[in-house]
Amino acid sequence: MRLRCFIAFLLAALAFSGGARADQLPASPVVNAVVQIAAVAREMAQIASATTVAAIPEAAIAAEIAMPVPAELAAEAIGQPPASKHSRDNVADKSAKRRHDKLAAPDALCVRPVGKAETGTAAWYGGRYVGRRTSSGSRLDTIHATAAHRTLPLNSLARVTNLDNGRSVIVRVTDRGPVNSSLLIDMSPRAADELHMKHAGLVPVTVEQVVEVPADLK
């Protein structure tokens, strides 16, 4: 930029001196050419001085550097084939299904008892209570085998056995109750189905807290 301005200045000075002599001397083709070159140089200098290059803000550069690398590009960078969205979705769906099946069918769990068993009367609750939030924060439904107990830790597991028919079910304690002090435990609709107690309504049961263990340690 400085070099262009310097050349323009020299050409302008040469044109000025040529113009001064032209008043005293007859115009010649050389002088006319120099004057035209000087005029063009002045225009070029004006255009060059008016042209500015917008600087890239540092914040934009930092933001560009900080942008996360897509998982597909990261996988390619380390020589691994990127996982397709379809395969990732399938893995997530299978994991969610396994968790759902495990909670919906807790008898499939491998457990061992801890603490002392209790004996008392069990009732079941559902109807207008289905969909309501329990003490653990989850909602009562008709899919999972859950129960309400006064003292067992929330989200702990318990084995409930119907003493009338010998049927047992593993429940997750998600609520507090029963309200009636004569009852030991309240069963969810699913747990009541497992114990075949819906028709009777009230049945004698034993309740023992259990913990999940690996299958080979059962």
Average pLDDT, integer, range 164-180:
97
Q: Which of 33, 50, 67 is the last residue of a domain?
A: 50
Q: What is the pLDDT of residue 52?
A: 47
Residue 177 has pLDDT above 90, yes or no: yes
Query: Are 115 and 182 contained in the same domain?
Result: yes
**pLDDT at residue number 115:** 87
User: What type of residue sits at position 61?
Assistant: I
Identify which has the larger pLDDT, 170 or 107.
170
Query: Would you say residue 145 lies in a domain?
Result: yes
Residue 158 CA to residue 185 CA, distance in Å, equals 11
Q: Is residue 55 part of a domain?
A: no
Query: 81 is written with which tokens?
Result: 């084939």
Read off the pLDDT of each residue in 77-85 and give the average, rounded to a whole number.
Answer: 54
The pLDDT value recorded for residue 31 is: 55
If one counts the domains in the chain, the total is 2
pLDDT at 123 over 80: yes
- Mean pLDDT for 24-36 is 58
- Statement: residue 53 has pLDDT above 50: no
Confidence of residue 1 (pLDDT cuts 50, 70, 90): low
Same domain, 129 and 208: yes
Buried b or exposed e, range 136-154, using 16+ CB within 10 angstroms: eebebbeebbbbbbeebee
pLDDT at 135 over 80: yes
The answer to whether residues 42 and 138 belong to one domain is no
Report whether 147 contacts 185 (CB < 8 A).
yes
Question: pTM of this prediction?
Answer: 0.53
φ/ψ bin of 109: left (φ > 0), alpha (ψ from -120 to 50), beta (otherwise) = beta
Domain boundary among 34, 50, 66: 50
Closest to 170 (Cα-Cα) out of 123, 106, 102: 106
Residue 14 binned pLDDT confidence (cut-offs 50, 70, 90): low
Of 64 and 152, the structure prediction assigns the larger pLDDT to: 152
